[in-house]
Amino acid sequence: MKPVKLVWADNSANDYPNLQKDLELATETALRYVRGALYVLYNGYELKSSYRIDKGKKHFERFFGAFDDGRYTTVIKAFKDIHNELSTRQMTYYVSKENLDSKKLYGSSQENQADGNINIFGLYLKAPLLGQDSKYGVIIHETSHNVIDHISDQNATYSLAETEALARKDPERATHCAESYEYYVEFGVASGLITPVPDPNTSTGWVDRGGDIAPPSLSFPDNYSVGDGKFRAWAGTGKGSYLDRSSGSPHPVRDADSNWVGENMRSRWLDAPADKTTFSVMFNINNSVDLDTNMIRGRWAVDDEGEMYHVDPQTRAETLVSKIGAPGYGHWTEFVAGTQHGLKHGTNEFRFYIRNAGGGPGGLRVETEKFQDWSTT
Ligand SMILES: [Zn+2]
């Protein structure tokens, strides 16, 4: 994503010192969840899990009406166009004191211009970052007008009730309604259906479509041994009973009504033996990635506690990225890693020092988000 640009129509910029950062975060959040929406749209009808299929289809029909191949294609194209605008254009926000004082509008943009230009108004300032009628949702709404898909407000369809009614009564218009796109994402995120898209190379227990992932291709330092997926454990600490991919069923300790973070089609737990284990994953950052504007985001969970470091493969310098205290298995802990943690072009390593007290089954769970080269085709 390119840094966002603010264009002031007057000289009141100093009255809004946080607006640049605020719009940057909202734009980045919009981009991450539009990726997540595309992931659900592409995979939601094909994955073997019937739970996933039913939930994805129901959600689609709630906002875009009865499922139909043509409308499905229309929605995917619109989200791809929104994704491409947010990720490749310099999003430019036009602001003035007069507009920011107005309490009638969130934003506006020109239909079918694909120029990345959006006007911001007073209601945006009062909106929450996440949730219904959120800041990131406003960005999705306005960007949907802006891409060349003829997405309008359909006679001022703004409320949840109006949006759902439009989907029931006139699905064709629902697929050309900005509020439908905003709510599809906002309510998908709120229900857990839509999340940022994890990178299979640096997330644990990837089981997309039930297939095996490619064997690790990076060369590791001598004292590593092969663990599960592309995560490896230090030799000598015991590798534990790694998840059996072929069985496809989670360890009983983590079944649906346990209090561990539930397994899903995006990531699964890696087993860890009692006491201390070190897990490691290495990854490559392409020279074309601008590390000033791209951070790696993700979330992790651990039984019972642990520390996550970035390790420089050349100097072996370790920089703390995130720390989880016991008990750390029942909730996600978000992390962000950037150049301040030593992230650089070429080979990088994330290392997880974890400790499982008490002798029961331990585990590590990591979802690292894709942040570059995400293909929507
Ligand atoms: Zn609108």
Q: What is the pLDDT of residue 273?
A: 67
Q: What is the pLDDT of residue 229?
A: 46
- The answer, yes or no, to whether residue 251 has pLDDT greater than 90, is no
Integer Cα distance of 279 and 108 in angstroms: 48
More confident: 166 or 354: 166
**113 alpha carbon – ligand 1 mean position (Å):** 14
What is the Cα 308 distance to its own chain's centre?
20
Q: What's at 184, amino acid-wise?
A: Y
- The answer, yes or no, to whether residue 237 has pLDDT greater than 70, is no
**112 alpha carbon – ligand 1 mean position (Å):** 13
Q: What's at 195, amino acid-wise?
A: T
Q: Is the peptide bond before 304 cis (omega within 30 degrees of 0)?
A: yes
Are residues 346 and 285 in contact, defined by beta-carbon separation less than 8 angstroms? yes
Confidence of residue 203 (pLDDT cuts 50, 70, 90): confident
**145 alpha carbon – ligand 1 mean position (Å):** 7
**142 alpha carbon – ligand 1 mean position (Å):** 6
**95 alpha carbon – ligand 1 mean position (Å):** 17
Integer Cα distance of 300 and 91 in angstroms: 31
Q: What is the pLDDT of residue 372?
A: 56
Integer Cα distance of 278 and 231 in angstroms: 10
- Lowest-confidence region among 34-38, 232-236, 240-244: 240-244
Q: What's at 173, amino acid-wise?
A: R
Q: What is the pLDDT of residue 91?
A: 97
pLDDT (mean) for 302-310? 93
**10 alpha carbon – ligand 1 mean position (Å):** 24
- Lowest-confidence region among 12-21, 22-31, 32-41, 222-231: 222-231
Tens digits of per-residue pLDDT, 173-197?
999 999 999 999 999 999 888 888 8
pTM for the whole thing? Answer: 0.79
pLDDT (mean) for 335-353? 91
Q: 246 CB contacts (<8 Å, ≥6 apart)?
A: none
More confident: 94 or 270: 94
pLDDT (mean) for 132-147? 98
Q: What is the pLDDT of residue 294?
A: 79
- The answer, yes or no, to whether residue 245 has pLDDT greater than 60, is no
**293 alpha carbon – ligand 1 mean position (Å):** 29
- Listing DSSP states for 67-136 in one string gives --HHHHHHHHHHHHHHHHHHHHS--EEEE-HHHHH-SS-SEE--TT--S-EEEE-HHHHHS-SSSTT-HH
- Lowest-confidence region among 195-199, 223-227, 246-250, 298-302: 223-227
**369 alpha carbon – ligand 1 mean position (Å):** 30
- In percent, how much of the chain has pLDDT > 90? 53
Instruction: Label the pairing between strands 346-356 and 107-108.
Output: unpaired
- Lowest-confidence region among 8-22, 105-119, 270-284, 293-307: 270-284
Name the token pair of 377: 């085709």
Q: What is the pLDDT of residue 211?
A: 32
250 CB-contact burial (10 Å; exposed 0-12 / middle 13-18 / buried 19+): middle
**35 alpha carbon – ligand 1 mean position (Å):** 21
Name the token pair of 48: 């073997």
**151 alpha carbon – ligand 1 mean position (Å):** 9
**153 alpha carbon – ligand 1 mean position (Å):** 5
**213 alpha carbon – ligand 1 mean position (Å):** 42
**207 alpha carbon – ligand 1 mean position (Å):** 38
**146 alpha carbon – ligand 1 mean position (Å):** 10
> Chain-wide mean pLDDT for the chain?
82
Q: What is the pLDDT of residue 41?
A: 85
- In percent, how much of the chain has pLDDT > 70? 80
- The answer, yes or no, to whether residue 236 has pLDDT greater than 70, is no
Q: What is the pLDDT of residue 360?
A: 74
**15 alpha carbon – ligand 1 mean position (Å):** 27
Integer Cα distance of 272 and 305 in angstroms: 12
pLDDT (mean) for 253-281? 75
pLDDT (mean) for 221-227? 34
363 bridge partner residues: 271, 303
pLDDT (mean) for 248-261? 69
H-only helix segments in 170-222: 171-174, 178-190
More confident: 203 or 176: 176
**81 alpha carbon – ligand 1 mean position (Å):** 17
Q: What is the pLDDT of residue 259?
A: 86
What is the SS3 assignment for 49? Answer: coil
- The answer, yes or no, to whether residue 231 has pLDDT greater than 80, is no
**2 alpha carbon – ligand 1 mean position (Å):** 24
